[in-house]
Amino acid sequence: MSERVLSVRHVLGIDGLTRADAELILETARSFHEVNTRALKKVPVLRGRTVALLFFENSTRTRLSFELAAKRLSADTLSFSASGSSVQKGETLIDTARNIEAMGPDLVVMRHEQSGSHHLLLRAMSGAVVNAGDGQHEHPTQALLDAFTLLERFGRTPKDGLVGKTIAIVGDIAHSRVARSNMLLLPLLGAKVRVCGPRTMLPLGLEQYGVEATDDVDAALAGVDAVMTLRIQKERISGARMASDRDYFHRFGLTKERFAGLPEHALVMHPGPINRGVEIDHDVADHPRAVILEQAENGVAVRMAVLYLLAVVHAKAERA
Ligand code: CP
């Protein structure tokens, strides 16, 4: 394992990570990916440590892969869901966090519907904090696992696998934390990013990310190396922004026809959950060039890397 350490004590977003941090996480994930292919998929590096998983918002992939990541590193886990907890009885985030802090977790992973809520969490927690998705702000480990998946397919280092590659992100860009984290990470690692969606779902200020933006999906998909389709974040949209799912599929969905027009090597990605027949055709989602399940698999190794590297930073700080 590398002697290098992260420059940060918490992973709250891609914003805040250096290129060296991102590369270190991706390289470390490569080692853990190898661990995950062994018969005994476990290493003792976090034995005696506790990882708290606080999910105030629904999740399948992120929650399960953080839990598996912690267990494969031999950590104990504390698992919290807002549904079925005392949040339903009126307890605030900060009071919930203080009570969990009293149980002594070393690392805290949180998903919350409020953008920026992790800064509030930091007031109650002494351990490392990882953002597992905050509102429409960031989902850093999703972007890291997306980059890892591209590297696995195109070349193991960013220089070989990402520099000069063009990735289209198509969907509800305005409300997507996955889009935001990828717009920060992929250009940091040398890829070109095009974002595409209905005009009402393209936020202002996209130029600050250095990405191209268009509402013409066929132009967005021309010559790409990968297309990342995103669902419409209906839970974050008030009022009708689209006529119907059917209309959206026709105008922006990755249909069989649009897929057939992609370069032969182009990959199809989706962070999940997918809505077949809305943002992606049913059969395209299951095509061999769709790496959606590889993304889910790679999430475990990437999250192992993030937890391990943060534990190293905190152990060094304790010794200093
Ligand atoms: N990609 C993602 O965050 O999926 P979940 O909402 O199921 O965690």
What CATH number corresponds to the domain at position 27?
Answer: 3.40.50.1370
**Residue 167: what pLDDT?**
98
Residue 13 inside a domain? The answer is no
Supply the pLDDT for residue 188: 97
Give the model's pLDDT for residue 87: 85
CB of 116 shorter than 6 A to ligand 1: no
229 shares a domain with 90? no
User: Can you tell me which atom of ligand 1 is nearest the CA of 272?
Assistant: 1
For residue 216, the model assigns a pLDDT of: 97
Residues 114 and 163 in one domain: no
Pick from 117, 35, 127: which is nearest to 82 by CA? Answer: 117
Burial class of residue 69 in the structure, from the number of CB atoms within 10 Å of its CB (0-12 exposed, 13-18 middle, 19+ buried): buried
Whether residue 122 lies inside any domain: the answer is: yes
Do 48 and 170 fall within a single domain? no
Residues 97 and 158 in one domain: no
| Cβ-based neighbours of 305, under 8 Å, separated by 6 or more | 25, 26, 28, 29, 31, 32
Q: Residue whose CA is closest, atom 4 of ligand 1?
A: 61
Residues of the chain predicted below pLDDT 50 = none
Residues 128 and 146 in one domain: no
Contact 50, 76 (CB under 8 A): yes
pLDDT at 314: 93
Task: Answer yes or no: is 8 within a domain.
Answer: no
pLDDT confidence of residue 68: 98
How many separate domains does the chain show?
2
- Is the domain of 28 the same as that of 42? yes
Residue 249's pLDDT is 96
Helix (H, G, I), strand (E, B) or coil at 109: strand
SS3 168: strand
DSSP 232: -
Pocket test for ligand 1, best of 54, 59, 229, 231 (most atoms within 8 A of CB): 59
- Whether residue 45 is found in the same domain as residue 100: yes
Helix, coil or strand: residue 299: helix
Q: Which domain holds residue 123?
A: 19-138+296-319
59 lines ligand 1 (CB under 6 A): yes
> Cβ atoms within 10 A of the Cβ of 208, count?
9
Question: Ligand 1: which residue has its CA nearest to atom 5?
Answer: 59
Instruction: Provide the pLDDT for residue 2.
Output: 67
**Same domain, yes or no, for 285 and 301?**
no
pLDDT of residue 61: 98
Q: 284 by DSSP, 3-state: which? A: helix
Q: Do 106 and 183 sit in the same domain of this protein? A: no
Same structural domain, 73 and 159: no
Q: Which tens digits make up the pLDDT trace of 265-280?
A: 999 999 999 999 999 9
Position in ligand 1 atom list of the atom nearest CA 299: 1
Q: Within this chain, do residues 51 and 178 fall inside the same structural domain, yes or no? A: no
Residue 12: inside a domain, yes or no?
no
> Which of 53, 54, 61 has most ligand 1 atoms within 8 Å of its beta carbon, as the pocket-test mutant?
61
169/289 same-domain check: yes
Euclidean distance between the first and final Cα of the chain, in Å?
21
Flag whether 219 is in a domain. Answer: yes
Domain membership flag for residue 226: yes
How far is ligand 1, taken at its centre, from the CA of residue 318, in Å? 33
Residue 73 structure tokens: 């590193």
pLDDT in tens, 123-173: 999 999 999 999 999 999 999 999 999 999 999 888 888 999 999 999 999
- Can you tell me which atom of ligand 1 is nearest the CA of 58? 6
Find the length of the chain: 320
The answer to whether 111 and 264 have CB atoms below 8 angstroms apart is no
46 in a structural domain: yes
The verdict on residue 268 lying in a domain is: yes
Shortest-distance Cα residue to atom 6 of ligand 1:
59
